[in-house]
Amino acid sequence: MSTNKSFSTETSERYSRALFEVSKDANELEKVEADVNKFQLLLTSSYETKNFIKDPTQNTIEQGKVINLLAEKLEFSKNLKNFFLLLIEKRRIFFVKKIFESFLKLCSRKRGEVKASLISSKELSQPELEKIRKDLSVTMGSTLKFEYILDKELIGGLKLQLGSFMIDTSIKNKLKKYEQKMLEN
């Protein structure tokens, strides 16, 4: 892991840990996690919200009003609402996406989940996916939560990524390796 973290990454991690600890101490970690997921969904689906958050010229008073309205409509916990207001006050609201991504990783890690992505060349059924998840969870010794992607360009095989660990058994990858060997000779 690099020791040269960017200011935004370091700041986001610090704020996410603070939100995590406050939520845990208040016994509302699950509620805050659900609220953060609701907000993340709003952020990805609403162009206006995304622009409002990212706009550094926004007045803090206006931002506070909008956050109070959102908190009321989406029924955010008091701690999350106050956290938003703190981000606005400290002029860090534009880091909110990174902060929440880091916060959700902390929540997932607390539950002992490991995130992974599985990419296959053919459509896998739900039972097949569940069997792979269970087998990998047993092997890893923790709950595995993965994103499944269908990529027909792989021709055949699978790609599995667990953190920085990658297993690539795709035919596309094998053909690429053969091509490299042929070019080297």
- Three-state DSSP state, 103: helix
Is the model's pLDDT at 128 over the cut of 60?
yes
| Residue scoring higher pLDDT (55 or 31) | 31
Q: DSSP class of residue 156?
A: S
| DSSP secondary structure, 26-53, as one string | TT-HHHHHHHHHHHHHHHHH-HHHHHHH
Q: 61 falls in which pLDDT band (50, 70, 90)? A: very high
pLDDT score, position 5:
64
pLDDT score, position 23:
94
Task: Report yes or no on whether pTM surpasses 0.85.
Answer: no
Q: 2 falls in which pLDDT band (50, 70, 90)? A: very low
Structure tokens at 58: 């926004």
Average pLDDT, the chain: 87
Q: Where are the domains of the chain?
A: 7-109, 114-184
C-alpha to C-alpha distance for 172 and 159, rounded to whole angstroms: 10
| DSSP secondary structure, 56-93, as one string | TTS-HHHHHHHHHHHHHHTT--HHHHHHHHHHHHTT-G
> What number is the average pLDDT over the span 139-149?
80
Determine whether domain 7-109 maps to CATH 1.10.520.20. Answer: yes
C-alpha to C-alpha distance for 57 and 95, rounded to whole angstroms: 15
pLDDT score, position 77:
92
Q: Are 32 and 18 in contact, with CB atoms under 8 Å apart?
A: no
pLDDT score, position 55:
83
Phi, psi of 150 (to 5 degrees): -100, 125
